[in-house]
Structure 1
């Protein structure tokens, strides 16, 4: 199997541009941290709304980078099957691709939040993409379960880190969905429930951080095993 590598104009590999599971996990963790801190600023009145918006704006870019890496690393979009049309989408690819779409919608939302000046702009450019991104995350989390079941033939493996990661990710997606409901923009420009919106973001971000952090020790160990293993002849 060949692997594509990012190269410079001189033909040399650029490791920083090569997606890996470790980079993906760290990108989700950094983005989650920024979302959590931004929500904390609003919850405990530690700064202005501009600070919260800026932190979430930067965090969304880390989410997008992680989502793109996840989609690339998920492999082929389809696989052969012995029924129906003969091919079907792979659940793991669908989970990654749909989540990646969600991260882009969060980019739109957090970018617009920095400059929106009217209620209409808040509704169309901030809340709508935010709600859409939250729905995408929920759908993605459902496909994570499908992918896990197809690989492991069970949804009950509390001894596996991937099992915990899948469930914590789902809790985070639900929290982001609740946050979007609380962030609905009313006709006077206020939010339906700012407390729910902020706490939903905070809890969701902590969950996403945890779901990614769980995988890091395993990824690090697998990397050491790969380095130690003899090359195949």
Structure 2
């Protein structure tokens, strides 16, 4: 019997899919969660937390970039063909991707800051900006879901659960940013709120990504009714 070796091409490895996007968000969220847990339960020092967050942010950025590529065109023709209107799916992906880039700046500064001023301007400000971008993105997710389904109540859809869990995570990250505000002595305004907000938000992002994994039974059923292009993107 002849064995045929199947090799994945570099192009197929680099091609973004929903599976890859979800896995990268899950890994990034897990790293943020572990880093926050290390601070909450005093398992490791601030250095370990900062490094885990730094690495997790790059997984977020990669996933966010994939999300933008998978979201399709930025605009669609308006009814009547008089112009174009932005697509909520693309806006959600773009604003979330912007947020991940700001988290890159924040987590990098956490490792390299030499002064309180650096922490305020290059760590906390991007952190707050990234958290705000995530909140805006979560709102666009609701808009996109409503445009697709005509309702905001559809608990049989995995994307409905993902949207709500994602919103909870974004709110938690926003609260974390409030707690992480850098005071003049270099300490955080509320370290407990910052750490717990990060931990809860990160867990939510892991769950929001996990629930839409194409390999899960309920998503396989939905994929069977999808178009060939949609199936390929999974």
Q: Same fold (TM over 0.5)?
A: yes
Equivalent position SS for 1:14: helix
In structure 1, what is the Cα distance between the partners aligned to 2:218 and 2:28?
19
Q: 1:83 to 1:220 in 2, by over 3 A?
A: closer
Cα distance in 2, alignment partners of residues 179 and 135 from structure 1: 11
Instruction: Report 1:1-233 matches (<5 A).
Output: 13-82=10-79, 86-216=83-213, 217=216, 221=220, 225=224
Question: Hey, what's the Cα distance between the residues in 2 that align with 1:132 and 1:57?
Answer: 16
Cα–Cα, structure 1 residues 218 and 106, in superposed 2: closer, same or farther, change >3 Å? farther
Aligned to 2:232: none
Q: Deviation at 1:82?
A: 1.9
- Cα deviation per residue 1:71-125 (whole Å; 9 max; x = unaligned)? 0000000000126952110000000000000000000000110011211000011
Distance 2:222 2:142 in 1: 25
Using the alignment, how far apart are the partners of 1:199 and 1:78 within structure 2?
38
| Superposition RMSD in Å | 1.9
SS in 1 for 2:211: helix
**Secondary structure at 1:79's aligned position in 2?**
strand
Q: In structure 1, list runs of 5 or more residues that go unmatched.
A: 1-11
Normalising by structure 2, what TM-score? 0.88
- In 1, are the aligned partners of 2:75 and 2:86 still within 8 Å (CA)? yes
> 2-side partners of 1:38 and 1:218: how far apart?
32
Shift of 1:14: 2.4
Name the counterpart of 1:7: none
2:76 is paired with a residue whose SS is: strand
TM-score, with length taken from structure 1: 0.88
- Go from structure 1 to structure 2 and tell me whether the alpha carbon gap of 1:83 and 1:125 turns closer, same or farther (over 3 Å shift): farther
| Cα displacement (A) at 1:223 | 10
Q: CA shift at 1:221, angstroms?
A: 2.3
